[in-house]
Amino acid sequence: MLTKLGSSLAFLQRNGLTCILVHGTTNGSEDERSKLAEQAMQLADALEGQGARTRPFVNCSGVFKANESGTDSGFSLDTKIIRWSLSSGFIPIVSSLVETNEGGIINVCPTKATDELAAHFEPLKVMYLNSKGGLTTEKGRVIEVINLPYDLESSSHLPWCDRKTKLRMANINSLLEKLPFTSSVVITSADTVLNELFTHKGSGTIFKKRELLNVHKDFSTIDADRLFNLIEGTFTKKLTESYLEKVKSKLLAAYITESYSAAAIITTEDELHDIPYLDKFAVSLQNQGLGSGETIWERIRQDFPALFWRSKSANRINPWYFIRSEGSWTNSRYTVFWYGISQPSISNEIVNFAVSHPTSFVEDQFYNQSSDFDDGAGKHLGSSM
């Protein structure tokens, strides 16, 4: 595992991807501190044996210093030596040791030391490495993605989320709040670093910062003006005056981010064997690529075992829908998608419904020039009736 870790970090360095390696122990004995020096040298040997260049900072090296002002971490950070190492083309190997005002050295939790460095350097990814991999369910399945902060509450009652796991998730959430929105945190095995960075399927659990997602069962808790502004802005079309009353009577659930930057509306159609219908799916231009749509989709899949929807056949977002569907049907105007439906008779019924369902947009508006093309001008994520 150490050899694979060395190979992975050497690969990153050769390809211009800067990394800082932190190691430590929660044991504060003098004997453990001497072991940290040995471990720093072992890590350096492993990396340099694969062609990497390193700077192991054994003992303390003044990176972490005791803080009398009483911050949450209990110590302050001096980054000069780390920046010097990085600018010289070396991977810094930092031991999680704090220098006291009296000149002594004490151990600190390596996770806290890593978090302090991450908050300062604002990396694209923070990786907590172990020998086992990511978090697992009670059945041993790796939990691939945790969206924070809202998964803190939704996961708290699950069997795998014990007190220690809840605390760790809360700490990761606190770290993500200090980092750019594009940053993420991973818990994974030390020999799968490259898998986590360059593939969609690794052994770890990735924590992503996501906007709070609210689920509404009726329109009494929804700001309809903000929701409809999002939909009309996404699709560059105006909703019909009757749309609100129609969707009110059929609403199953509306998934809306806290800032009303992304939303999905799911309705029920009585004649369709209670198969839910994805009536609208919209993400604002400003939130494209930030994962809001994926967050909503993951929650929909958790809540609805079967679903169908339609999109204009020329919609450039259709490849995204094809990946997430289990079946589809296309004509010159619409593509109908579904998942969780295996009976051919039911799939035939939903197709007939979808292609004949009236549009909920005003079709003769001057800004609706692209409506026959893709229901959303291509840059927006949307599925529309």
pLDDT tens per residue across span 127-179: 999 999 999 999 898 998 898 887 888 888 899 999 999 999 999 999 999 99
Whether the Cβ atoms of residue 169 and residue 145 lie closer than 8 Å to each other: no
Provide the sign of the torsion angle of the four alpha carbons 363, 368, 374, 375, taken in this order.
Answer: negative
Of 288, 77, 323, nearest in space to 182 by CA: 288
Q: How far apart are CA 73 and CA 55, in angstroms?
A: 25
Whether the Cβ atoms of residue 118 and residue 126 lie closer than 8 Å to each other: yes
Q: State pLDDT tens for residues 315-351.
A: 989 999 999 999 999 999 999 999 999 999 899 999 9
Say whether both 169 and 224 belong to one domain.
no
N- to C-terminal Cα distance for the chain?
52
Query: How are the residues of the chain apportioned to helix, strand and coil, as percentages rounded to the nearest 5?
Result: 35, 25, 40
* CATH number of the domain that residue 147 is part of: 3.40.1160.10
Number of domains comprising the chain: 2
- Residue whose pair of structure tokens reads 């030390």 in the numeric block: 190
Q: How far apart are CA 236 and CA 367, in angstroms?
A: 7
Furthest C-alpha separation in the chain: 79
Of 127, 56, 129, 149, nearest in space to 97 by CA: 56
- For every residue of 295-349, DSSP letters joined together read HHHHHHHHH-S-EEEEEETT-TTHHHHHHH-SEEEE-SSEEEEEES---HHHHHH
Say whether both 242 and 355 belong to one domain.
yes
Instruction: Name the domain boundary from 187, 209, 231.
Output: 209
The domain in which residue 47 lies consists of 2-209
* CATH number of the domain that residue 262 is part of: 3.40.630.30
- Per-residue confidence of the chain (385 residues) as pLDDT tens digits? 999 999 999 999 999 999 999 998 866 555 677 888 899 999 999 999 999 999 998 766 788 888 765 445 678 888 999 999 999 999 999 999 888 888 788 888 899 999 999 999 999 999 999 999 999 999 898 998 898 887 888 888 899 999 999 999 999 999 999 998 889 999 999 999 998 888 766 679 999 888 888 999 999 999 999 999 999 999 999 999 999 999 999 999 999 999 999 999 999 987 676 899 999 999 998 777 677 888 899 899 989 999 999 999 989 899 999 999 999 999 999 999 999 999 998 999 999 999 999 999 997 444 333 333 233 223 345 544 4
Instruction: Name the domain boundary from 179, 209, 239.
Output: 209
pTM over 0.75: no
Strand order of the β-sheet with 184-189 is 125-130, 184-189, 205-209, 145-148
Say whether both 219 and 347 belong to one domain.
yes
Of 5, 2, 20, 46, nearest in space to 196 by CA: 5
Q: How far apart are CA 220 and CA 183, in angstroms?
A: 35
Say whether both 303 and 197 belong to one domain.
no
In which element (H, E) is residue 77 found? strand 75-77
Of 241, 239, 242, 266, nearest in space to 254 by CA: 266
Say whether both 248 and 182 belong to one domain.
no
Q: Which residues contact 13 (CB under 8 A, 6 or more apart)?
A: 19, 52, 53, 89, 91
In which element (H, E) is residue 139 found? none
- Residue whose pair of structure tokens reads 């796991």 in the numeric block: 165
Instruction: Name the domain boundary from 194, 209, 224.
Output: 209
Say whether both 223 and 237 belong to one domain.
yes
